[in-house]
Amino acid sequence: MVKPVIAIVGRPNVGKSTIFNRVVGERISIVEDVPGVTRDRIYSSGEWLAHEFNIIDTGGIDIGDEPFLEQIRQQAEVAMDEADVIIFLTNGREGVTPADEEVAKILYKTKKPVVLGVNKIDNPEMREQIYDFYALGFGEPIPISGSHGLGIGDLLDEAAKHFPKTNQAEYEADVIKFSLIGRPNVGKSSLVNAILGEERVIVSNIAGTTRDAIDSPYTYDGQKYSIIDTAGIRKKGKVYETTEKYSVLRALRAIERSDVVLVVISAEEGIIEQDKKIAGYAHEAGRAVVIVVNKWDAVEKDEKTMKEFEQRIREHFLFLDYAPIVFLSAKTKKRIHTLLPMINLASENHSMRVETSVLNDIIMDAVAMNPTPTDKGKRLKIYYTTQVSVKPPTFVVFVNEPELLHFSYERFLENRIRDAFGFEGTPIKIFARERK
Ligand code: GDP
Ligand code: GDP
C-alpha cells in the first residue's frame, strides 16, 4: 500500500516542527525559540484513526544561502511536488503577515488540496483570531495549539478527507521493485538510462496515473521490474533538489516502496560520509541491498584494484556485509549485464522461506559447536526457532530468558543461518521470545 503524504508548509516559527512532532508522536526534531534551528528528521510516518500516512516538515529543508523569502518559496514548492495534501500553517498570535501571503501566492498554483491551520490558539478565548485568516483564500481556518495538543485531530480529519481514494497494492507480486539511491552525481540517472537502453528491455508504457509517471516499469528476460521514483532521479534543475535534506527525503520515499535498493557510489570520487548515511537508511528499512560501484571506467586498474576497493567498501559499510558489490560503468556500459542477476538474487533471498526442521538442525548444530552464553550463573536455553516472515526474513528464537541472547551470540546465530541458507543481499532479523 502506498501511504498518502502530508506536507506542512509555512514561514519559520509558526510551529511546523511542533505539529510534526505531535503527529509523529515522538519528539524527534529539535524545537527551539530560534527560527531555522537544524532539525534532525523531516519525514516520518503518522497515524490518525484508521488512516496511515507519511508527513513532511518542509521547514527542515535548508535551502543553502538563499534569502528568507526564497527559502519558504522553495519549501512550498517541495510540498507541492511531494505531497497529496498540504497543511498551510500560520500563527494566530501574529495575524496574517506578508510572509504568509507570499506562501499563499505560491500555493494558489497547486491543484493539490490545502488545509489551513492557525496555530498557537492555546485557549478558547483566542479563537476569534482565526477570522483574519479567511483572507488567505483557503477556506475555513482550523484553530490548533501545537504546544497544548488542541485541534490536531480536527486538522488531520480535514487532511484525511482529501487523501487519494485509490490505495490498492500498486504492483503485482511478481514485479521486482528497485530504486537507486546515492548522493548527487554518482551516476544514478546515467545508470537508469543504461538499464532501460539495454537491448531486450521492453519498457511498459502505461499512461495514466501519477505513480506510473514516477516509476519505470519494464520487462527483461521474462522478469518484470519497476524502477521506483525514476522521475525523482532524472529530473534536475530546481534549487532544492541539490540540498542534502531533500535528497534524503527522496531516497527515503523511494526505499519505502522498493524490494531492492541499489546503493550507488562512485569509484571516481570514492566513499564519503554521506554515502554511509544513505546506505544506512536502506539497511534500517529492511530492504534487500546491492552496492553498485559506478564509474569503474574512470579508475586506473590492475589486478588488485577491485579487491582493494571491495575491502574499503566492507570497512566503511560494516552493517551491509550481506550486500553483494557490483562494479560497472553506466557510461561505457561495461559490466552492466552483471547488475540484473544480482537484483534477482537479492530479491529472491529477501522473500526466501526456509524449512523449519532444517533451520532447527542448523541452530542445534550451532549450539553444539559454540555453547550458549551464561549471565549471572544462568545459561541461555534455545528451545525452538521458526521463520515468522519474509521481506526481510525474520526469525523468532524461543528461549528461557530473552535477555540472555546477547548481541554477539545473536550475530553468531545469524552467521550460521547465512552459512546454511545463503541470504546474500538481504538483511535478516532475529528476535528472542520467552517460551511460556
Ligand atoms: P517552525 O519554525 O514553524 O517549525 O516552528 P517551531 O515548531 O520550531 O515553533 C516555534 C516556536 O513556537 C517554539 O518556541 C514553539 O515552542 C512555539 N510554539 C509552537 N506551537 C505553539 C503553540 O501552539 N502555542 C504557543 N504558545 N507556542 C507554540
Ligand atoms: P546522478 O546525479 O547520480 O543522477 O548522476 P548523473 O547520472 O547525472 O551523472 C553525474 C555525472 O557523472 C555526469 O557527468 C555523467 O556523465 C557522469 N557519469 C555517470 N556515469 C558514469 C560512468 O560510468 N563513468 C564516468 N566516467 N562518468 C559517469
pLDDT in tens, 318-358: 889 999 999 999 999 999 999 999 999 999 999 999 999 99
Ligand 2 touching residue 330 (CB < 6 A): yes
Ligand 1 touching residue 336 (CB < 6 A): no
Task: Quickly state the pLDDT bin for 207 (edges 50, 70, 90).
Answer: very low
**18-27, 205-214, 400-409, range with greatest mean pLDDT:** 400-409
Mean pLDDT over all residues of the chain? 89
pTM comes to 0.85
Task: Quickly state the pLDDT bin for 211 (edges 50, 70, 90).
Answer: low
Dist. CA 187 → ligand 2 center (Å): 4
Cross-strand pairs, 374: 379
328 CA: nearest ligand 2 atom: 23
Q: How many Å apart are CA 405 and CA 379, to the nearest integer?
A: 10
Cross-strand pairs, 145: 150
Question: Which helix (H) or strand (E) covers residue 434, if one does?
Answer: strand 429-434
- For residue 33, the model assigns a pLDDT of 41
> Where would I find the H helices in 118-178?
152-161
Spatial contact of 30 and 38, defined as CB atoms under 8 Å apart: yes
Q: How many Å apart are CA 330 and CA 336, to the nearest integer?
A: 7
Question: DSSP assignment, residue 165?
Answer: S
Question: Which helix (H) or strand (E) covers residue 312, if one does?
Answer: helix 305-316
- For residue 32, the model assigns a pLDDT of 41
With cell 511536488, the residue in question is: 81
Q: How many Å apart are CA 295 and CA 242, to the nearest integer?
A: 21
Q: Is the pLDDT of residue 372 over 80?
A: yes
- For residue 36, the model assigns a pLDDT of 39
Task: Quickly state the pLDDT bin for 45 (edges 50, 70, 90).
Answer: confident
Spatial contact of 394 and 377, defined as CB atoms under 8 Å apart: no
Q: Is the pLDDT of residue 113 over 70?
A: yes
Task: Quickly state the pLDDT bin for 418 (edges 50, 70, 90).
Answer: very high
- For residue 26, the model assigns a pLDDT of 56
415 is in an annotated binding site: no
- For residue 9, the model assigns a pLDDT of 97
Taking the CA atoms of 35, 129, 23 and 279 in sequence, report the sign of the dihedral they define.
Answer: negative
Look at residues 147, 163, 197 and name the one whose alpha carbon lies nearest to residue 55: 163
15 is in an annotated binding site: yes
Phi, psi of 115 (to 5 degrees): -110, 130
Q: Is the pLDDT of residue 28 over 80?
A: no
Dist. CA 91 → ligand 1 center (Å): 9
Ligand 2 touching residue 232 (CB < 6 A): no
Dist. CA 297 → ligand 2 center (Å): 11
Ligand 1 touching residue 122 (CB < 6 A): yes
Cross-strand pairs, 123: none
Taking the CA atoms of 98, 99, 104 and 107 in sequence, report the sign of the dihedral they define.
Answer: positive
Which is more confident, 115 or 202? 115
Task: Quickly state the pLDDT bin for 43 (edges 50, 70, 90).
Answer: confident
Cell of 218: 519494464
57 CA: nearest ligand 1 atom: 4
245 is in an annotated binding site: no
Q: What is the arithmetic mean of pLDDT over 261-275?
A: 91
**1-10, 224-233, 293-302, range with greatest mean pLDDT:** 293-302
Kindly identify the ligand whose nearest atom is closest to the C-alpha of 297. 2
* Chain centre distance of CA 4: 14
Q: Say what percent of the chain tops pLDDT 90.
A: 67
Helices 68-82 and 98-107 sit at what angle, rounded to 10 degrees?
30
Kindly identify the ligand whose nearest atom is closest to the C-alpha of 119. 1
233 is in an annotated binding site: yes
Q: What is the arithmetic mean of pLDDT over 10-20?
A: 94
Dist. CA 345 → ligand 1 center (Å): 49
Ligand 2 touching residue 185 (CB < 6 A): yes
Dist. CA 146 → ligand 1 center (Å): 7
298 CA: nearest ligand 2 atom: 26
- For residue 399, the model assigns a pLDDT of 96
Exposed / middle / buried, residue 408 (Cβ in 10 Å: 0-12, 13-18, 19+): exposed
Spatial contact of 10 and 89, defined as CB atoms under 8 Å apart: yes
Q: Say what percent of the chain tops pLDDT 70.
A: 93
Q: What is the arithmetic mean of pLDDT over 72-95?
A: 94
Dist. CA 151 → ligand 1 center (Å): 15
Cell of 96: 496574517
296 is in an annotated binding site: yes
Taking the CA atoms of 307, 310, 314 and 315 in sequence, report the sign of the dihedral they define.
Answer: positive
Q: Is the pLDDT of residue 209 over 60?
A: no
Q: Is the pLDDT of residue 30 over 90?
A: no
Q: How many Å apart are CA 310 and CA 325, to the nearest integer?
A: 7
